[in-house]
Amino acid sequence: MSVISFKLDEANRISSDTGGYFVKYTKQDNKYWVLPSECPHRSGPLHLGKQCRQTGAIVCPWHENRISMRCLKRNSMPVVVNRDTINIVFSDDSHKVWKEFHL
């Protein structure tokens, strides 16, 4: 098990042996989440999807499926945010963190 920490303005994508994730802030609950970046339908890139303004769901860019935040939060990574730093607990020691500007 390992804990990784990074500044919120320095990274928004994480990959590990357990899969890929992206950092998402939600206004509804005023929290940061580390959500799976693969769509459960056909593994589309959810981190490239848009958020529906009416429901808050993430719309997959491949097939336009709407994945509810409730569903994504069930599969989120444990996270603690302290000011501008995010801390994530991973079950493995192999991970990579980077910034994608289009999120």
Domains and CATH numbers, the chain: 2-98 (2.102.10.10)
Q: Report which DSSP code applies to 15.
A: E
DSSP category for residue 77: B
Cα–Cα distance measured from residue 47 to residue 44, given in angstroms and rounded to the nearest whole number: 9
| pLDDT tens by residue, the chain, 103 residues | 788 899 998 999 998 887 899 999 988 888 999 999 999 999 999 999 999 988 889 999 999 999 999 999 999 988 999 999 999 988 777 888 888 865 4
Its pTM stands at: 0.86
Q: So what's the pLDDT on residue 102?
A: 57
The per-residue pLDDT for 96 is 85
Closest to 40 (Cα-Cα) out of 82, 68, 17: 68
Count of other CB atoms within 10 angstroms of residue 63: 10
